[in-house]
Amino acid sequence: MPGILYIVPTPIGNLEDITLRALRVLKVVELIAAEDTRHTQHLLAHFGIKTALTSYHDHNERGKARTLVERLKSGASIALVSDAGTPAISDPGYRIVVDAIEAGIQVVPLPGASALTTALCASGLPTDRFFFEGFLPAKAQERKAKLQSLRGEAATLVFYEAPHRLLDSLAEMLEIFGDREISVARELTKVHEEFRRGKLSEVVRALADRDIKGEIVIMVHGASGEAQVSDEELHGTIRQLAGNGMGVKEIAELLGERYGLAKKEVYKLALDLKATKHAK
Ligand code: SAM
């Protein structure tokens, strides 16, 4: 009989957030495949678990997945864990799950901690639909292109972010998404757990002078229904407002707010339209 591959979530900060089932599985499997064996060793020692560990991380994922699937085929059951939270969610795991499924191995996921669901459920933003982007690219240009591609997404957007990049990312989101409602969750389940909720501009202002540390999830309200406005409609509205004597700045503010668009972008568009009108 082949063994079972268990996907076992571990706490994202608070050690009480491990399930009874996770502890039992970690005890009875033959082997625990861990992202960082030393890190997981601390967790196991805390709960008095002596199961053997082997490493399974980003850099050995392909080869190691094949080796572990051979062990599973020969009857060993294996628990996969990452440093914190749910394996395969912005963490190693995808490859061994695919290989195990292809080999006809039973894959049993255990429910448990993940920063994604922990943050989202208390964000105060709509939870009926969400789009998990995980980490944005480290390079500013790629990050902006990614944000542009998400501008029209109506579902709540969820990002994992490093503390030193938080303010840059928020500033870029403000520029690209406009002043939407957001929620920033920091240090979930830990002593300094904190949520910052409000308009993007307010949160940027509140965090601007702080030395931000710890682990962070950013959640952004999706594009409002009205944000799906067509270019034609937007141009028409700008012309109409300008025709009524409204200034470019006011137009940018009004339509940015109404359609959930970046004010800077509407401002530029209104200026361009004004320039083409004068050119005619
Ligand atoms: N697999 C993990 C999960 O299920 O949440 C995520 C691993 S990913 C490498 C680590 C990122 O998750 C962090 O940079 C942060 O964005 C988020 N994260 C993890 N723990 C967190 C916590 N306690 N509070 C806030 N964000 C956390």
User: pLDDT tens digits for 155-208?
Assistant: 999 999 999 999 999 999 999 999 999 999 999 999 999 999 999 999 999 999
| CATH class (in words) of the domain with range 116-220 | alpha beta
- CB of 248 within 6 A of ligand 1: the answer is no
**Is the CB of 31 within 6 Å of ligand 1?**
no
CA distance 58 to 78: 18
13 lines ligand 1 (CB under 6 A): yes
pLDDT at 278: 66
Residue 60 pLDDT exceeds 80: yes
Q: Which residues contact 37 (CB under 8 A, 6 or more apart)?
A: 53, 54, 55
- What ligand 1 atom has the least distance to the C-alpha of 82? 1
For residue 225, the model assigns a pLDDT of 61
Report the percent of the chain where pLDDT is more than 70.
Answer: 97
CATH code given to domain 4-113: 3.40.1010.10
pLDDT band at 8; cut points 50, 70, 90: very high
For ligand 1, atom 2, name the residue with the nearest CA: 85
Q: How far apart are CA 280 and CA 268, in angstroms?
A: 19
Helices H, strands E: what count in the chain? 11, 10
Q: pTM for the whole thing?
A: 0.84
